[in-house]
Amino acid sequence: MTCPKNIRNGPCGGVRADGHCEVKPEMVCMWVDAFDRSQNMPKYGGELIWLQPPLDRQLEDSSSWINMIRGVDEVSLPGWDGELEKEAVA
């Protein structure tokens, strides 16, 4: 991930009209670049627009393997509604 804001779920509100980053104006937004590249992947390209739950920063610096085994990484954060993902795809 090369986003200077560590945005993991899609572009922030600061993507410039030319597709460049608001923090590093000389850099193309990594999400714009990812979307452009996804257009060359017809089998998987559409998955990029699926909404993803926000990253739980409380799990930072913990073991991803242990979190997965315990199911901790499957717990949604307060305020996240999985129904939003289904509506976005429909």
Its pTM surpasses 0.85: no
Q: Are residues 41 and 26 both part of a single domain?
A: yes
Each residue's pLDDT tens digit, 31-65: 898 888 888 887 766 777 777 777 788 888 999 89
Distance CA 35, CA 57 (A): 25
The parent domain of residue 4 ranges over: 1-49
**Residue 44 shares a structural domain with residue 62:** no
Q: Are 63 and 85 part of one and the same domain? A: yes
Number of domains the chain is built from = 2
Q: In the chain, what's the furthest Cα-to-Cα distance? A: 43
pLDDT exceeds 90 at position 24: yes
What does pLDDT average to over the chain?
80
Q: What is the pLDDT of residue 34?
A: 86
Report d(CA 19, CA 71) in Å as an integer: 37
Same domain, 32 and 59: no
